[in-house]
């Protein structure tokens, strides 16, 4: 790619911290067309933010399911074992950091 195109894109791209903020914000309110396009462009290039986006969507779906049937004890509300293990490992690692 030529230098002018890269410069053009770098002025319009947002950083990961901005992308994660927009991902969270858009769950509660519209973020506007320009911010939505900036977020989508960032998600095309950043696999970590795409992963965060998927996790936020999964949490949103779980919350929606719970709102439909609060207190229900069904497998739909249980976290898959691999995700549960991943969360436990992350908590253990975070608690060992000093």
* Interior angle at CA 22, CA 16 and CA 26, nearest 5: 150
Q: Are 31 and 39 in contact (CB under 8 A)?
A: yes
Q: Give the tens place of pLDDT for each residue, 6-54.
A: 666 666 789 999 999 999 999 889 999 999 999 999 999 999 999 999 9
d(CA 60, CA 52): 12
Lowest-confidence pick of 1-10, 19-28, 59-68: 1-10
Tokens of 24: 């969270």
What's residue 94's pLDDT?
78
Q: How many CA atoms lie within 13 A of 39 on its CB side?
A: 20
Q: Work out the mean pLDDT of the chain and round it to a whole number.
A: 83
């Amino acid at each position: 790619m030529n230098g002018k195109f890269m410069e053009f894109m770098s002025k319009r791209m947002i950083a990961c911290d901005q992308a994660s903020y927009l991902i969270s914000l858009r769950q509660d309110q519209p973020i506007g067309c320009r911010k939505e396009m900036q977020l989508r462009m960032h998600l095309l290039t950043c696999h970590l933010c795409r992963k965060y986006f998927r996790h936020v969507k999964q949490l949103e779906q779980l919350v929606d399911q719970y709102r439909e049937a609060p207190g229900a004890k069904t497998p739909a509300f249980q976290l898959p074992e691999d995700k549960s293990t991943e969360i436990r490992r992350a908590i253990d690692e975070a608690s060992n950091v000093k």
